[in-house]
Amino acid sequence: MQVKDKIVIVTGAGSGIGAAAAKHFATHKAKVVVSDIKKEKADKIVEEITKDGGEAIAIVANVSKFDEVDALIKETVSAYGQLDVIVNNAGIGPRNMTRTGEYALEDWHDVIDVNQTGVFYCMKLALQQMKKQGHGNIVNVASLAGLKASINNISYSASKFAVVGMTKSAALEYATKNIRINAVCPGYTESALLDKLLSVRPDMDDLLKSVIPMKRYGQANEVADAIVWLASDNTKFITGQTITLDGGTSL
Protein backbone atom coordinates (compact mmCIF):
# COMPACT_ATOMS: atom_id res chain seq x y z
CA MET A 1 0.00 0.00 0.00
CA GLN A 2 1.29 3.42 -1.00
CA VAL A 3 2.00 5.24 2.27
CA LYS A 4 5.79 5.41 2.09
CA ASP A 5 7.19 8.55 3.75
CA LYS A 6 3.74 9.84 4.69
CA ILE A 7 3.55 11.58 8.06
CA VAL A 8 0.84 9.82 10.05
CA ILE A 9 -0.69 10.52 13.46
CA VAL A 10 -2.56 7.68 15.13
CA THR A 11 -4.46 8.58 18.30
CA GLY A 12 -5.13 5.99 20.96
CA ALA A 13 -2.16 4.14 19.50
CA GLY A 14 -0.97 2.60 22.75
CA SER A 15 -3.03 -0.55 22.34
CA GLY A 16 -5.62 -2.42 20.27
CA ILE A 17 -6.58 -1.15 16.83
CA GLY A 18 -4.50 2.01 17.25
CA ALA A 19 -1.32 0.08 18.04
CA ALA A 20 -1.94 -2.32 15.15
CA ALA A 21 -2.50 0.60 12.76
CA ALA A 22 0.64 2.42 13.92
CA LYS A 23 2.75 -0.71 13.38
CA HIS A 24 1.14 -1.41 10.02
CA PHE A 25 1.86 2.11 8.76
CA ALA A 26 5.47 1.77 9.89
CA THR A 27 5.80 -1.58 8.12
CA HIS A 28 4.77 0.21 4.93
CA LYS A 29 7.46 2.87 5.53
CA ALA A 30 5.30 5.72 6.81
CA LYS A 31 6.64 7.97 9.58
CA VAL A 32 4.34 7.48 12.53
CA VAL A 33 3.40 9.71 15.44
CA VAL A 34 2.18 7.34 18.13
CA SER A 35 -0.20 9.33 20.31
CA ASP A 36 -1.85 8.07 23.47
CA ILE A 37 -3.03 9.44 26.79
CA LYS A 38 -0.53 7.14 28.55
CA LYS A 39 3.13 7.87 27.84
CA GLU A 40 4.40 4.42 28.76
CA LYS A 41 2.05 2.78 26.26
CA ALA A 42 3.02 5.15 23.45
CA ASP A 43 6.72 4.69 24.20
CA LYS A 44 6.33 0.90 24.10
CA ILE A 45 4.79 0.97 20.62
CA VAL A 46 7.49 3.36 19.38
CA GLU A 47 10.14 0.98 20.75
CA GLU A 48 8.54 -1.95 18.94
CA ILE A 49 8.34 -0.02 15.68
CA THR A 50 11.94 1.24 15.77
CA LYS A 51 13.21 -2.21 16.78
CA ASP A 52 11.67 -3.54 13.56
CA GLY A 53 13.36 -0.82 11.50
CA GLY A 54 10.48 1.65 11.31
CA GLU A 55 10.37 5.34 12.19
CA ALA A 56 8.12 6.66 14.96
CA ILE A 57 7.91 9.19 17.77
CA ALA A 58 5.57 9.35 20.76
CA ILE A 59 3.44 12.38 21.64
CA VAL A 60 1.14 12.23 24.65
CA ALA A 61 -2.31 13.77 24.16
CA ASN A 62 -5.77 13.56 25.66
CA VAL A 63 -8.01 14.12 22.65
CA SER A 64 -10.81 15.50 24.83
CA LYS A 65 -8.56 18.51 25.60
CA PHE A 66 -8.41 21.02 22.74
CA ASP A 67 -5.05 22.47 23.80
CA GLU A 68 -3.48 19.01 23.87
CA VAL A 69 -4.76 18.20 20.38
CA ASP A 70 -3.44 21.56 19.18
CA ALA A 71 -0.03 20.72 20.65
CA LEU A 72 -0.12 17.27 19.03
CA ILE A 73 -0.66 18.73 15.56
CA LYS A 74 1.92 21.50 16.05
CA GLU A 75 4.58 19.14 17.42
CA THR A 76 4.04 16.77 14.49
CA VAL A 77 4.41 19.57 11.93
CA SER A 78 7.43 20.92 13.80
CA ALA A 79 9.09 17.49 13.70
CA TYR A 80 8.20 16.51 10.14
CA GLY A 81 7.11 19.65 8.28
CA GLN A 82 3.62 18.46 7.41
CA LEU A 83 0.75 16.13 8.31
CA ASP A 84 -0.41 13.73 5.61
CA VAL A 85 -2.72 11.44 7.58
CA ILE A 86 -4.48 11.42 10.92
CA VAL A 87 -6.24 8.31 12.23
CA ASN A 88 -8.77 9.29 14.87
CA ASN A 89 -8.88 6.07 16.84
CA ALA A 90 -8.85 7.12 20.51
CA GLY A 91 -12.05 6.00 22.17
CA ILE A 92 -13.59 4.70 25.37
CA GLY A 93 -16.71 2.85 26.46
CA PRO A 94 -18.97 3.46 29.46
CA ARG A 95 -18.14 2.15 32.91
CA ASN A 96 -21.60 0.64 33.17
CA MET A 97 -23.84 -0.57 30.36
CA THR A 98 -27.47 0.02 31.21
CA ARG A 99 -30.73 1.24 29.71
CA THR A 100 -31.04 4.86 28.70
CA GLY A 101 -33.35 5.84 31.57
CA GLU A 102 -30.83 4.61 34.13
CA TYR A 103 -27.70 5.70 32.26
CA ALA A 104 -25.12 7.50 34.40
CA LEU A 105 -24.50 11.14 33.49
CA GLU A 106 -20.78 10.65 34.08
CA ASP A 107 -20.67 7.85 31.51
CA TRP A 108 -22.53 10.00 29.00
CA HIS A 109 -20.20 12.99 29.34
CA ASP A 110 -16.96 11.01 29.47
CA VAL A 111 -17.70 8.93 26.37
CA ILE A 112 -19.01 11.87 24.35
CA ASP A 113 -15.99 13.99 25.35
CA VAL A 114 -13.51 11.44 23.99
CA ASN A 115 -15.33 9.65 21.17
CA GLN A 116 -17.21 12.57 19.65
CA THR A 117 -15.71 15.87 20.78
CA GLY A 118 -12.19 14.42 20.61
CA VAL A 119 -12.68 13.38 17.00
CA PHE A 120 -14.08 16.84 16.21
CA TYR A 121 -11.05 18.54 17.78
CA CYS A 122 -8.65 16.32 15.82
CA MET A 123 -10.53 16.84 12.57
CA LYS A 124 -10.83 20.61 13.04
CA LEU A 125 -7.14 21.18 13.70
CA ALA A 126 -5.85 18.60 11.23
CA LEU A 127 -8.04 20.07 8.48
CA GLN A 128 -6.60 23.52 9.09
CA GLN A 129 -3.09 22.16 8.55
CA MET A 130 -4.11 19.99 5.60
CA LYS A 131 -5.86 22.85 3.83
CA LYS A 132 -2.77 25.03 4.35
CA GLN A 133 -0.45 22.44 2.82
CA GLY A 134 -2.89 21.50 0.04
CA HIS A 135 -3.51 17.83 0.79
CA GLY A 136 -4.47 15.39 3.52
CA ASN A 137 -6.27 12.25 4.54
CA ILE A 138 -8.37 11.49 7.62
CA VAL A 139 -9.50 8.05 8.73
CA ASN A 140 -11.95 7.97 11.61
CA VAL A 141 -12.53 4.84 13.65
CA ALA A 142 -16.28 4.57 14.16
CA SER A 143 -18.08 1.30 14.92
CA LEU A 144 -20.86 -1.01 13.90
CA ALA A 145 -22.57 0.72 16.85
CA GLY A 146 -22.52 3.85 14.71
CA LEU A 147 -24.56 2.17 11.98
CA LYS A 148 -27.14 0.13 13.90
CA ALA A 149 -28.75 -0.01 17.34
CA SER A 150 -26.62 -0.94 20.34
CA ILE A 151 -28.68 -1.54 23.48
CA ASN A 152 -27.61 -0.42 26.95
CA ASN A 153 -24.90 1.66 25.30
CA ILE A 154 -26.45 5.02 24.49
CA SER A 155 -23.35 7.22 24.83
CA TYR A 156 -21.12 4.93 22.78
CA SER A 157 -23.76 4.50 20.10
CA ALA A 158 -24.46 8.24 19.96
CA SER A 159 -20.76 9.06 19.70
CA LYS A 160 -20.11 6.58 16.91
CA PHE A 161 -23.17 7.65 14.90
CA ALA A 162 -21.76 11.17 15.27
CA VAL A 163 -18.37 10.07 13.93
CA VAL A 164 -20.04 8.60 10.85
CA GLY A 165 -21.97 11.84 10.33
CA MET A 166 -18.91 14.04 10.84
CA THR A 167 -16.96 11.89 8.38
CA LYS A 168 -19.55 12.30 5.65
CA SER A 169 -20.17 16.01 6.26
CA ALA A 170 -16.50 16.97 6.30
CA ALA A 171 -15.74 14.75 3.29
CA LEU A 172 -18.31 16.72 1.29
CA GLU A 173 -16.87 20.04 2.48
CA TYR A 174 -13.27 19.20 1.53
CA ALA A 175 -13.74 17.03 -1.57
CA THR A 176 -12.35 19.78 -3.83
CA LYS A 177 -9.44 20.55 -1.49
CA ASN A 178 -7.46 17.35 -2.13
CA ILE A 179 -8.45 16.09 1.33
CA ARG A 180 -10.18 12.72 1.75
CA ILE A 181 -12.10 11.65 4.85
CA ASN A 182 -13.37 8.12 5.46
CA ALA A 183 -14.27 5.88 8.38
CA VAL A 184 -13.95 2.25 9.38
CA CYS A 185 -16.76 0.62 11.35
CA PRO A 186 -15.49 -2.47 13.16
CA GLY A 187 -17.91 -4.96 14.62
CA TYR A 188 -17.01 -7.03 17.66
CA THR A 189 -13.21 -6.91 17.67
CA GLU A 190 -10.75 -8.35 20.16
CA SER A 191 -9.89 -5.30 22.25
CA ALA A 192 -9.83 -3.87 25.76
CA LEU A 193 -13.45 -2.74 25.33
CA LEU A 194 -14.58 -6.26 24.43
CA ASP A 195 -12.51 -7.76 27.26
CA LYS A 196 -14.24 -5.40 29.68
CA LEU A 197 -17.68 -6.45 28.47
CA LEU A 198 -16.88 -10.15 28.67
CA SER A 199 -15.38 -9.80 32.15
CA VAL A 200 -18.70 -8.43 33.38
CA ARG A 201 -20.85 -10.82 31.36
CA PRO A 202 -18.91 -14.01 30.48
CA ASP A 203 -22.13 -15.45 29.04
CA MET A 204 -21.98 -12.78 26.35
CA ASP A 205 -19.17 -14.60 24.51
CA ASP A 206 -21.42 -17.29 23.06
CA LEU A 207 -24.24 -14.80 22.50
CA LEU A 208 -22.09 -12.35 20.54
CA LYS A 209 -20.49 -15.04 18.39
CA SER A 210 -23.94 -16.43 17.60
CA VAL A 211 -24.85 -13.20 15.75
CA ILE A 212 -21.58 -13.05 13.79
CA PRO A 213 -21.91 -15.15 10.61
CA MET A 214 -18.18 -15.88 10.65
CA LYS A 215 -18.52 -17.09 14.27
CA ARG A 216 -15.46 -15.21 15.50
CA TYR A 217 -14.37 -11.77 16.60
CA GLY A 218 -12.39 -9.44 14.38
CA GLN A 219 -8.67 -8.94 14.88
CA ALA A 220 -7.06 -5.54 15.38
CA ASN A 221 -4.67 -6.14 12.49
CA GLU A 222 -7.62 -6.77 10.16
CA VAL A 223 -9.04 -3.34 10.97
CA ALA A 224 -5.55 -1.85 10.62
CA ASP A 225 -5.34 -3.23 7.07
CA ALA A 226 -8.46 -1.27 6.12
CA ILE A 227 -7.22 1.91 7.84
CA VAL A 228 -3.89 1.90 6.01
CA TRP A 229 -5.61 1.10 2.72
CA LEU A 230 -7.96 4.09 3.09
CA ALA A 231 -4.99 6.31 4.02
CA SER A 232 -2.96 5.18 1.03
CA ASP A 233 -2.70 6.52 -2.50
CA ASN A 234 -4.38 3.31 -3.65
CA THR A 235 -7.77 4.83 -2.75
CA LYS A 236 -7.56 8.31 -4.28
CA PHE A 237 -11.19 8.30 -5.49
CA ILE A 238 -12.73 7.17 -2.18
CA THR A 239 -14.09 9.75 0.25
CA GLY A 240 -17.01 10.02 2.65
CA GLN A 241 -17.31 6.24 2.96
CA THR A 242 -17.73 3.87 5.88
CA ILE A 243 -16.00 0.51 5.54
CA THR A 244 -17.71 -2.08 7.75
CA LEU A 245 -15.56 -4.88 9.17
CA ASP A 246 -17.95 -7.08 11.13
CA GLY A 247 -17.72 -10.65 9.86
CA GLY A 248 -21.17 -10.23 8.35
CA THR A 249 -22.95 -9.15 11.54
CA SER A 250 -24.77 -6.26 9.85
CA LEU A 251 -26.29 -8.72 7.37
Give the C-alpha separation, 122 to 240, whole Å.
17
Q: In angstroms, how far apart are the furthest CA atoms of the chain?
A: 51
| Selected catalytic residue, list 121, 156, 174, 217 | 156
DSSP 8-state symbol, 96: S
156 catalytic per annotation: yes
Residue 192 near residue 227, CB atoms below 8 Å: no
Other CB atoms closer than 10 Å to residue 192's CB: what's the count? 11
Number of helical H runs and strand E runs in the chain: 9, 7
Element (H, E) at 161: helix 154-173
Residue 231 near residue 8, CB atoms below 8 Å: yes
Positions annotated as catalytic residues are 156
